[in-house]
Amino acid sequence: MQLQDLNLAVILPIVVIQLILMIIALVDLVRRESTRGPKLLWVFVIFIGNILGSIVYFTVGRKSEA
């Protein structure tokens, strides 16, 4: 096994997880009536923040439905 194959084996799952989290966060953002802060700001946080941006949106940006 070469180093290049190992890098792909490590990076590919991280990229897939990042894309899945980003898509789920964006779909949730579109479906919500209101968030903590402007929706456009959360779009930038999700895109620029990559994995951490999506996690921050889910922990901080969402308002409870109650």
pLDDT in tens, 30-53: 998 888 889 999 999 999 988 899
Q: Is the pLDDT of residue 18 over 90?
A: yes
Q: Which two tokens stand for residue 23?
A: 């898509």
- Measured CA to CA, the distance from residue 8 to residue 37 in angstroms comes to 37
Task: Say how far residue 59 (Cα) sits from the centre of its chain.
Answer: 11
- pTM score > 0.85 for this model? no
Strand pairing partners for 7? none
Q: Give the dihedral sign, CA 11/14/20/25.
A: negative
Residue spans of alpha helices (H) in 1-66: 3-31, 39-56
